[in-house]
Structure 1
Amino acid sequence: MSTTHDPLALESQVCFALAVASRGVISAYRSVLEPIHLTHPQYLVMLALWQHETLPVRRIAELLRLEAATVSPLIKRLEALDYVEKRRSSDDERVVEVSLTDTGAKLRATAEAIPGQMMTKLDMGETELRELHSTMTKIIAAADASHAAD
């Protein structure tokens, strides 16, 4: 048996750990989001709207780092739930703005329990999550810089 470290060992790869962790965390959200009839991607749209109240579709896509074509079906499903409404901007007819409905705005009170529920599910405290978030933010920035350099 070799004691040499294999630089290509699957369990040593950051990309593998991030992919598995991402799938696991998103899966853990499922049971927390089901009672409010949201999928994880829909929850992300709602988070953006709870923070900003009204946003153009294009801005939601930018915030979530998704294509507008990916965000549009999410918004359609949120409309069907009466959580959001779309309308053309009065300033620019080409811009579609998304706003919370009263139902969507009231849902925020229920959703405020989600971060605590997720800390319990992930068995992590607030300090650990802040450190993890900081590390992930650094990784995202480094990946962005790497793409910009390409």
Structure 2
Amino acid sequence: MKDALKSMLQKEGAAGLKKLTVAVSGEQASGFRSTYGVEMEGNYTIYNGTTSGGGVMGTVIIVNQEGKEGPLQVLVAVRPEGKVYDVGFTVFGEDKGKPAMSWTFFKQFMNVKVTQDVKIGEDIDGISGATWTSTSIATAVKRALAVHKEFITE
């Protein structure tokens, strides 16, 4: 995971990392579900990439998401203005869903903001034969953007 974080944040110019963990449950999760349209209950690990002056230059949110065949741990990199700039994995428990690990699929999420929909078949082209995995990744991205909006954006 450390290599993925370095790749996502240092290539954008981060001088350091600051870790934060947030838990979303109960009434808060229900409110987020109403606002963002996705199930939000769970724990989220957040890494803020910091500048040499201490400001945040980018954030990676780690989202645990169920796939069809197994767990996914999706890393979603978000710029301070709330736009996705990278997507990756530390855990990919899918065999049939491997085509969803392609840049061709990931690039559809670039510059997506929390106010945009990421529905497979409507806003995002899914991967044929990996529809469930495609949907799981899209849900993870939406969850990450909601976490960014609620806990990072000032």
Q: Which has the higher strand share?
A: 2
TM-score, normalization by structure 2: 0.28
Q: Which structure carries more relative contact order (alpha carbon 8 Å, separation 6+)?
A: 2
